[in-house]
Structure 1
Amino acid sequence: MEYKDYYATLGVPKTATGDEIKKAYRKLVRKYHPDVSKEADADAKTKELNEAYGVLGDPEKRAAYDELGSAPYRQGEQFRPPPDWGSDYESYGGDDSEFFKDLFAHVGGRRRGGGFQMRGEDSHAAIRIALRDAYQGASRTIALRVPQVDAQGRVVTRERTLNVTIPKGVTEGQQLRLAGQGQPGIGGAEAGDLYLEIQFEPDPRYSVEGRDVYEKVPVAPWEAALGAEIDVPTPSGRVTVTVPARSQGGRKLRLKGRGIPASGAAPAGDLYLLLDIALPPADTPQAKALYEQMARELRFNPRATLDA
């Protein structure tokens, strides 16, 4: 079945107030009422108008329609509910269209004692944290924009803040579920949940694959050539590591268990230090002389192994 645009049925924009919707409905229902209209489809048109006004004229049902009904479907597209839709549905009346019934069955809407109830939708958002927060845990304050229905029956947004605890051991892409912090329910129904997707703030020193962390570590040429013990700051604190002699740029030093900490059944990842040979600048006469001496005495050609 095709998606029904109730606003188009009443000839009003989506920003119309409750009074504007009522005025448009009354004007059209007088025009198409079967007792006065000579139109061949007056009866069917009147039913369409009654159904549209039954939704848009009720602030709670209008909010449900705006938020959940029109978003996934575009005018003219086929409306194909999943097989399990309608299991919770209670009839709104014999004149309801199949689209109306399937739409409100999908969102769990029901009329009990004259009141419409619907569980709030789940919300999804992203939250950025520093990599160090995944090692230690953290607290964040976020701002949420929550839809509400104003006195004129329009859906408006209000901003509220929420304190979020980032648990130790989270990974990028993981979702934190905050029960009851999603979209508010309608007619006293429970609110939906809020899902926050973890994203790491970009840092040129680090890259992350699952729970394994890769860190670029600059080393001096003599440290790489002769070997050395160096101090390295890492997300879990400073460590002393040994650089093996004759190391080349790009060599990986593995520190087992020093990646993102364990969480639940997931074990801790590893930290890989990627050696990056940093050349001292030839910005003094002494430094320039040392480079000239190496050029004369070492006779080193880094391109000797390249194919012609």
Structure 2
Amino acid sequence: MQYKDYYKILGVSRSASADEIKRAYRKLAREFHPDKNTSKGAEDRFKEINEAHEVLSDPEKRRAYDALGANWKAGQPFTPPPGWESGFGFGRGRTRSAEDLGGFSDFFSQLFGGMGARGGGRADPFGGFGGMDTDTVADTRARLAITLEDSFHGAQKQINVGGRTLKVRIPKGITPGKTIRLANQGSQGGDLLLEIEMLPHPLFELEGSDIYHTLKVAPWEAALGGKIAVPTLGGTVELNLPANSQSGRKMRLKGRGLPGAVAGDQYVTLQVVTPPANTDAERAFYAEMARRFSFDPRRA
């Protein structure tokens, strides 16, 4: 088994704050999300990023991981130190495999198999049901990772829990933190309570039921205005862009967020992107603009 440097995977220091870890994870998850990045190895990188975040975002797992010491190098042969299970309390029950833990590595399952995983990797994004716990009425709790599209359209998923295959209906408009209850499907005969988590999306951010999207526009589009295509969860729509729009301008697409009794909205933030001047003709065009316009952005 090879050691994994989770800090190196996320590109953060060992002293990184929880916010720094979260920001690094979100940036990398967008970059390597298989729905956006189809290059060879992107899916494996995405799973590796999720695994690193699973450990470093959990204070208990992070403390245990840090206890291994900072002298290990990624890829080195690794065996858990003597007394690991008894010393950190991870040896409760059998050590679960990477398959049980939703596609996480053998390194993860050896260290944290008894604690389990909150989410799942890309190979099985709905199978990460480690970390289940039972309350006094023998209900079983787990986390279920879904996509924004699942919430927008509604979906039906199959999950594997304790060797059983269960069907889960994802209701339209469900948001992170909400719970789906499967009656009498808990490990102790009670109910199975699935807390919803949302996978990162390459185009959209979610706040409540509202969707946020940054729309890149060319300078002439921003200056002249007109109709411009905007992606939404329900498909591409046309946005009426006012003339002389500036970067940072926020526009609302009413009812284009998650569905519900009161549908959320989609907010579009404009980002004016200046094309590079790589040729003599392009540089000459910019020079001509400078002569024709009296505009000085610093004076304004």
TM-score by length of 1: 0.50
Q: Does 1:183 align with 2:216?
A: no
Q: Deviations over 1:180-233 (max 9, x none)?
A: 11123xxxxxx1111112222112421111111111111111111111111112
- Structure 2 unaligned blocks of 5 or more: 1-90, 94-114, 116-134
**2:231 aligned counterpart, secondary structure:** strand
What's the RMSD between the two structures over aligned residues?
2.4
Structure with bigger gyration radius? 1
Q: Does 1:294 align with 2:289?
A: yes
Alignment-mate amino acid for residue 223 of structure 1: E
Alignment-mate amino acid for residue 134 of structure 1: S
Alignment-mate amino acid for residue 252 of structure 2: R
Which residue number in structure 2 is paired with residue 232 of structure 1? 230
- State how far apart, in whole Å, the 2-side matches of 1:283 and 1:139 are: 50
Q: Deviations over 1:151-181 (max 9, x none)?
A: xxxxxxxx33322221111112211111111
Closer/same/farther in 2, CA of residues 296 and 132 from structure 1, 3 Å limit:
same
Q: Does 1:172 align with 2:176?
A: yes
- State how far apart, in whole Å, the 2-side matches of 1:279 and 1:229 are: 19
- State how far apart, in whole Å, the 2-side matches of 1:141 and 1:281 are: 48
- State how far apart, in whole Å, the 2-side matches of 1:303 and 1:122 are: 62
Which residue number in structure 2 is paired with residue 88 of structure 1? none
Higher strand share: 1
Which residue number in structure 1 is paired with residue 201 of structure 2? 203
| Counterpart among 133, 150, 163 of residue 133 in structure 1 | 150
- State how far apart, in whole Å, the 1-side matches of 2:281 and 2:144 are: 50
- State how far apart, in whole Å, the 2-side matches of 1:218 and 1:161 are: 43
What aligned pairs does 1:1-308 form with structure 2 within 5 A after superposition?
Answer: 107=136, 121-144=138-161, 146=162, 159-184=163-188, 191-262=189-260, 266-305=261-300
1:14 is displaced (CA, Å) by 7.9
Closer/same/farther in 2, CA of residues 125 and 289 from structure 1, 3 Å limit:
farther
Q: Deviations over 1:271-297 (max 9, x none)?
A: 111111122222333322222222343
1:269 is displaced (CA, Å) by 0.9
What is the percentage of aligned positions where both structures have the same residue?
48
Closer/same/farther in 2, CA of residues 180 and 244 from structure 1, 3 Å limit:
same
Q: Which has the higher contact order (CA 8 A, sep 6+)?
A: 1
- State how far apart, in whole Å, the 1-side matches of 2:160 and 2:252 are: 40
- State how far apart, in whole Å, the 2-side matches of 1:179 and 1:285 are: 70
Closer/same/farther in 2, CA of residues 226 and 194 from structure 1, 3 Å limit:
same
**1:289 aligned counterpart, secondary structure:** helix
TM-score by length of 2: 0.52
**1:215 aligned counterpart, secondary structure:** strand
- State how far apart, in whole Å, the 1-side matches of 2:159 and 2:282 are: 52
Which residue number in structure 1 is paired with residue 67 of structure 2? none
**2:222 aligned counterpart, secondary structure:** helix
- State how far apart, in whole Å, the 2-side matches of 1:136 and 1:254 are: 21
- State how far apart, in whole Å, the 1-side matches of 2:277 and 2:296 are: 19
